[in-house]
Amino acid sequence: MTPFLWLVTKLWRRHEVISLADLFGRGELLLASSAFAALGIGDLIGTSKKHRVKKYVASGCCLLVLSLAINDYGDVGLLINQGQWYDHLRVATESLIMGSLSLIAGAACIILAQLK
């Protein structure tokens, strides 16, 4: 999250408008979402068999978020690479949703991995 805070500080110091589209409209938060979800899955690997169903559900949610975030980031990257127009605010909104979901699912995996 540090790069986003850095960007806010730079925009604020230059007296520019700070918007969601400017902060999250290029899909960087989708990369962070992928990392959070993958971290959650990684923490569950090799844990005990207790709470198995809960672990399957949490890791399945992480896998779903991971897949969707990767797909969305690929789409945004392709549009940027080809110089095509895309809705920055829509990407920012999707990024925030994916980020929130990945934090929730990843945290669930980490908590379940700690249970004995």
Model confidence at 61: pLDDT above 90: yes
* Average pLDDT score, the chain: 91
Helix orientation angle between 28-44 and 52-81, rounded to the nearest 10 degrees: 160
pLDDT digits (tens, 9 = 90+) for 13-54: 888 888 888 888 888 899 999 999 999 999 999 898 899 999
Distance between CA 69 and CA 32 in Å, rounded?
Answer: 9
Q: What is the mean pLDDT of residues 78-87?
A: 92
